[in-house]
Amino acid sequence: MDASTTAVCRWVWVAPRDADDVAAALSVCAGAGVPVVPRGGGTSIAGQATGVGVVLDLTRHMNRLVSVDPAARTAVVQPGLVLDRLRDAVRPYGLTFGPDPSTHSRCTLGGMIGNNACGAHSVAWGTTADNVTELAVTAYGGTAHRISTGWSGAPAGLRDLITGHLGLLRTGMTPAGMPPGFSRRISGYGGLDALLPERGVQLARAFCGSEGTLGVVTEAVVRLVDAPRTPVLAVLGYADESAAADAAAGLLPYGPLTVEGMAEDLVGGGAPALPRGRAWLFVEMPDEGGARALVRAAEAVDATVVTDPAGQRALWRIREDAAGTATRMPGGGMAWPGWEDCAVPPVRLGAYLREFRALLAAHGLHGSPYGHFGEGCVHVRIDFDLVSAAGIARFRDFSGNWPISSSRTAAPCRASTGTGRRGRSCCRRCTGRRWSGSSAPTRTCGTRRAA
């Protein structure tokens, strides 16, 4: 299992000590035709860390920070290194790693690369693909590749494959209605167009988001960013979540580090007081002047500016706990993960959420969207009945209708936590494409079995 609703029985669990062990395991598996699933912290929420066959646990031994170069602002990491260990180690240099999933205390750099993970700060610092410069990768069969920018290290045949499909890569990567260059297009192999010559043949970037299907990362060189010295948190209150979503895109020109949104149903008892309103945007700014200018421009119902770090931490806790809070409905029933990271262009998010709420209501379902409003990206946990036959039929009906019903605001992309098993059919509906054979985004290297 990972953190999704997917459970698949593995056959064997292997904890490699180094890249040679990874190569040996992949060679044996390829010889026997056995699927392989590399695994970091297992915090994926779409089933991408699950699969039959051999699970390679990269956290047990391959979990070191190899080196830090503060002047070059880079670090060399092993795949099983937990993100917070990296952030702790580079903090004394005034640096940090930009992408920061809510699972930062347990997710690994390898898993972040596998999922092309993002986080609250992606409006400022981008996704993991934006912050990886070089990867050591071992492919199914055991061949080692060092990939960065350019064709050096590419597997045999890849260059010809790309050269033969330039038109498709140029025009076919964007779902209908989505503007080209949409930052949260992370569905499936969403970054493959980074291999285009006009984009500099960014092999390491294109690998990010491949969810363990192209090879196993055994080492990565990652880019570090300046950590803001005195970030300030502006909390803006709005009438409801759609109003907050409508406002989010207009805040981007002020240079926020985060624009996170959520409504009152996700604020648990005992949380610090929030400004008036029934939904809020949590906007981190690099300094107090910027935060106050933003508040003046924001047209919020109410707002507060928090400068002290302890106060900010307490407020951020509300946002970080939202995923947990969202799993319980007010009446005590369960709401399920798996319907995560739907993204539309930020200017369309308010309209999209209104339509999404209407669709939930039409199916008698409930859920509380929250997430990265500045990127047009939301999570929602929904009170599906996954036990009774009627409940499962409703789940299927809702899941089948949702992207299509949302087409007026643009079919949403899966947008940060990965495609996984749960997202495959969604990608197919969004893009009109059917993944098949070796191009299917499954969680196995080189070979696959039915989900």
Ligand X SMILES: Cc1cc2nc3c(=O)[nH]c(=O)nc-3n(C[C@H](O)[C@H](O)[C@H](O)COP(=O)(O)OP(=O)(O)OC[C@H]3O[C@@H](n4cnc5c(N)ncnc54)[C@H](O)[C@@H]3O)c2cc1C
Residues that bind ligand X (CB under 6 A): 2-3, 37-45, 48-49, 58, 79, 101-103, 107-108, 110-112, 114-115, 117-119, 211-212, 216-217, 323, 416-418, 443
Q: From the CB of 347, what's the least distance to ligand X, in Å?
A: 21
Token pair, residue 25, equals 């395991």
Taking the least distance from each CB to ligand X, the nearer of 42 and 98 is 42
Taking the least distance from each CB to ligand X, the nearer of 137 and 298 is 137
Q: From the CB of 101, what's the least distance to ligand X, in Å?
A: 3
Residue 410: CB partners within 8 Å, gap ≥ 6? 175, 176, 177, 178, 344, 345, 348, 352
Q: From the CB of 397, what's the least distance to ligand X, in Å?
A: 26
Backbone φ and ψ for 279, nearest 5 degrees, come out as -155, 155
Backbone φ and ψ for 283, nearest 5 degrees, come out as -115, 110
Taking the least distance from each CB to ligand X, the nearer of 2 and 246 is 2
Taking the least distance from each CB to ligand X, the nearer of 137 and 300 is 137
Taking the least distance from each CB to ligand X, the nearer of 54 and 90 is 54
Q: Measured between alpha carbons, how far is 19 from 15 in angstroms, rounded to an integer?
A: 11
Reference 237, options 321, 299, 287, 297; nearest CA is 299
Q: Measured between alpha carbons, how far is 206 from 419 in angstroms, rounded to an integer?
A: 15
Q: From the CB of 95, what's the least distance to ligand X, in Å?
A: 19
Q: From the CB of 313, what's the least distance to ligand X, in Å?
A: 17
Residues 269 and 298: beta-carbon distance below 8 Å: no
- Dihedral Cα 100, 104, 110, 113, nearest 10 deg: -20
Residues 413 and 7: beta-carbon distance below 8 Å: no
Taking the least distance from each CB to ligand X, the nearer of 184 and 348 is 184
Q: Where are the beta strands (DSSP E) in 21-105?
A: 36-39, 54-57, 65-69, 74-77, 95-96
Taking the least distance from each CB to ligand X, the nearer of 340 and 355 is 340
H or E segment to which residue 343 belongs: strand 342-343
Q: From the CB of 108, what's the least distance to ligand X, in Å?
A: 4
Q: From the CB of 77, what's the least distance to ligand X, in Å?
A: 10
Neighbours of 265 (CB within 10 A): 19
Taking the least distance from each CB to ligand X, the nearer of 219 and 355 is 219
Q: From the CB of 153, what's the least distance to ligand X, in Å?
A: 15
Backbone φ and ψ for 235, nearest 5 degrees, come out as -110, 120
Alpha-carbon 194 to chain mean position: 18
Q: Which amino acid is at 109?
A: L
Q: From the CB of 154, what's the least distance to ligand X, in Å?
A: 17
Taking the least distance from each CB to ligand X, the nearer of 96 and 103 is 103
Q: From the CB of 99, what's the least distance to ligand X, in Å?
A: 7
Q: What is the DSSP code (8-state) at residue 232?
A: E
Q: From the CB of 156, what's the least distance to ligand X, in Å?
A: 20
Taking the least distance from each CB to ligand X, the nearer of 83 and 178 is 83
Backbone φ and ψ for 390, nearest 5 degrees, come out as -65, -40
Percentages (nearest 5) of helix, strand, coil residues in the chain? 35, 20, 45
Q: What is the DSSP code (8-state) at residue 412?
A: P
Taking the least distance from each CB to ligand X, the nearer of 114 and 423 is 114
Indicate the SS3 state at residue 346: helix
Neighbours of 364 (CB within 10 A): 10
